[in-house]
Chain A
C-alpha cells in the first residue's frame, strides 16, 4: 500500500508558469523517482499560493517549508536534502514574510506545521473530564480568576474584540461585538446561552469538547457573564448527547462546590450560575431564537427579527447566544492575550477551527487546525488521502446547510471571508468528503429530504419550497425529470433564500444552486439521457 508521508506542492499561477513552474514540476517528479520515493511522496501543481515575491514556489508538507524561487537545477538538491535526508534545505527557503490568506498560518508556525494546532481541544483526551482537579492542574479557572480580579468587564470585551474571535456556530459573527451589544443594554437581568444543540448531520465537534473538557465551557460562560453583566446561564444540549449532559451536570456540581459558580465567585461580588436544558431532537432548535423559545417551554419555532436576542432574548431579556466552540476559545484568549491568538489563522479569521472529517477518505475523525488551511491539505495530510485512491469529487461543508465544494475550490483557504468570496460557506465544521462514485443528484436529494423534515413550518417559502424541491429531486433521480424542473429548482431556491424567516429556509437552496453551478452536466444526464453517470440512482429504462 502507498503511504504518503510528504506532499509537495508547486505554485501554478500564470507568473509561476512563465518562470518555469512546469519544468520544476517535471524535475521534481524525475528526482523523486530517482531517489525511489514515489510511493511516499506526492507531487502536484496547485494554483495561486497567495504570495508572488519568490515564484515559482515549492511547498513541502507536513513541515510546510516554503521554498522559492526554485529553478529546475535546484530540484536535485532540494529533493536530496528535504525528502531523502529529511532536513530543511535552508538556503532555498523563500524569504519569511508576513503572509496573507492561504499560507498565512505557515508564517504563524514559523515554517513548521505541527501535527495539529490545538487550542480548543488542548485538554480533550488528556484530562479526566469528571475530575475538576485535573482541569485546574491544566490552567483551569485561571482565566476566570484573572478576569474577576484584574480586569473590568469592558476590558474583557475589548480583548475579545481585539482577538478577532468569530462565532463557530456557522455564521462567523464577531463575538466581541455580540457581547458589547448585550453589555450596553440597561437591564437588571441578562442571560448567557451556550448553544450545544449541534444537530447538523456529521458535525460532532461540540460533543467532543463537552465530553472531553466540560469545565472549559462553564468557565467561558462565567467570563461572558461578567463581561456583559449577566448572572445566569443556560446550556442547551442536544437531547441525544447523554454522556455530554452527564459530564456537564457533574462538572457544574463540582464547580459550585469549589465556588466557581454561585455567589461571590473568587471573593468578588460577581455571582453566576448555570442550568442545563436538553433538546428533544429538533434540528431547528439550534437556531438561536427557536432555541430560546424552546427554553421558555414553547414550541421551537424561530422568532421574527429584529428584535435580536441581544436586546430581546430569553424571557425578553438581553441574551448572548454562543456556540460551544466559540466559548471554548474564550479562556485561552483571556489567559494569553489577543495578540497571541492572532498568531494563528488568517487576519480576518484568527484562531483555529475544529473539523469533523467524514466520507471517502482514509482517516476520519476530528482535527483542530489553523483557519486558512485548504481542503486539499485537510484531505491529503490529515485524512491521509482518498480511500482506495479514488478521485475527489466534492466536499460538503457544515452539515446540510453548508456548500458543495467542487475540486476547483480545493485550494481556497478555509476561513470565513475567503470562502464567502468564493461564494461558498464554511458552516459549522463538518467536512463530508465525497469521491467520484458519489452521485450529486442523490446527495442533494438526501439533503432536501432532511430540510423538508426539519422545516418548522412557520413560513410558506420554506415549508412548501423544501417539499417541492425534494419531489423534483426524486423525479430527477428516478429518471422522470424534465429540463424545466431545473429552472423551477433555481426559482425555488432563490425564493426560499429571499423570503424565508430563518437560516434554515434561507440556506436550504444552497446545495441546489451549487449542484447546478458545478455539476449541471451530471444532472442533465439524468434528465436527458436517463442515465446516472455514477450508477447510484436506479433509473428504470425508458418505457
Chain B
C-alpha cells in the first residue's frame, strides 16, 4: 500500500479508487454485499455468505464481487444482502437464508428478475 504524505496523495488515492469503481459499474459487474455485523452473523450471515460463494464456484460465475459491510440498522431483517448490477440501483434483500441466497443468484443475478418477496423497501 502506498504511504500518504500529503493531502494531494490522499486525493490521488481517492481518484484511483473512484476510477476503479467506475470501471466496475460500467462493465455491468455484479456486486453482492452481505451485511456482516454481529447481528447479521448471529442471524446466519456466514452461512449465507458461504452459500453465495459456493454457488458462484459451482456455476463458474464470473464478474461478481462479493464483499461485506456493517449493520445497516435493520437488525430484524438480517441476514441482509444487497445486490448491485452494473449501474442499476441497489436492491436490498432481507432474511436471506442460504436457500434464498441461491434463489437470488439464480433469478436476480443470472436472469435479471428481482426476487420480490424478499426485497426490503428502504
Contacts and interface: CB of A to CB of B under 8 A. Distances in A.
Contacts of B18: 137
Interface in A212-268: 212-213, 241, 243-244, 254, 257-260, 266-267
Nearest to B8: A145
Interface residues of A, number: 43
A59 to B, nearest CB: 24
Size range of the chain B interface in the assembly: 20 to 34
Contacts of B74: 363, 365
Q: Which of A115, A130, A211, A363 has the largest count of B CB atoms less than 10 A from its CB?
A: A211
A243 B7 contact: no
Interface in A114-138: 115-116, 121, 124-134, 136-137
B67 interface: yes
Nearest to A128: B67
Q: Which of A130, A207, A212 has the largest count of B CB atoms less than 10 A from its CB?
A: A212
A141 B71 contact: no
Given A142-B10, A212-B69, A366-B71, A207 B38 contact: yes
A211 B75 contact: no
A213 B41 CA distance: 17
Given A146-B7, A243-B37, A243-B41, A133 B70 contact: no
B35 interface: yes
B108 to A, nearest CB: 20
Nearest to A124: B70
B17 interface: yes
Nearest to A134: B17
Given A266-B5, A266-B6, A365-B76, A130 B68 contact: yes
Given A133-B17, A136-B14, A127 B4 contact: no
A492 to B, nearest CB: 37
Nearest to A149: B7
Contacts of A124: 69-73
Given A124-B71, A125-B71, A365-B75, A258 B38 contact: no
Contacts of B3: 257-259
A367 interface: yes
Q: Which of A116, A121, A133 has the largest count of B CB atoms less than 10 A from its CB?
A: A133
Nearest to B77: A365
A100 interface: no
B57 interface: no
Given A141-B10, A243-B41, A258 B70 contact: no
B2 A125 contact: no
Nearest to B18: A137
Given A212-B37, A243-B38, A257-B1, A366 B73 contact: yes
B50 interface: no
B76 A129 contact: no
Given A125-B35, A266-B7, A136 B71 contact: no
Contacts of A364: 75-76
A367 B75 CA distance: 11
A149 B14 CA distance: 18
Given A136-B14, A142-B10, A258 B4 contact: yes
Nearest to A210: B70
Nearest to B33: A128
A243 B41 CA distance: 10
Nearest to B41: A243
B4 A126 contact: no
A208 interface: yes
Interface in B56-114: 67-76
A304 B3 CA distance: 44
Q: Which of A125, A136, A208, A241 has the largest count of B CB atoms less than 10 A from its CB?
A: A125
A137 B14 contact: yes
A237 to B, nearest CB: 13
Given A142-B10, A364-B76, A211 B4 contact: no
B13 interface: yes
A133 B67 CA distance: 13
Given A212-B70, A364-B75, A366-B73, A133 B5 contact: no
A129 B38 CA distance: 13
B69 A260 contact: no
Interface string A499-543: 000000000000000000000000000000000000000000000
B71 A145 contact: no
A127 B69 contact: yes
B10 to A, nearest CB: 5
Given A145-B7, A146-B7, A121 B73 contact: yes
Contacts of A132: 1
A487 B83 CA distance: 60
Nearest to B90: A126
B69 A208 contact: no
9 contacts: A124-B71, A125-B70, A125-B72, A133-B13, A136-B17, A142-B10, A211-B38, A212-B71, A365-B76
List the 7 closest A-B pairs by CB distance, nearest first: A212-B70, A125-B72, A366-B73, A259-B3, A267-B5, A145-B7, A137-B17
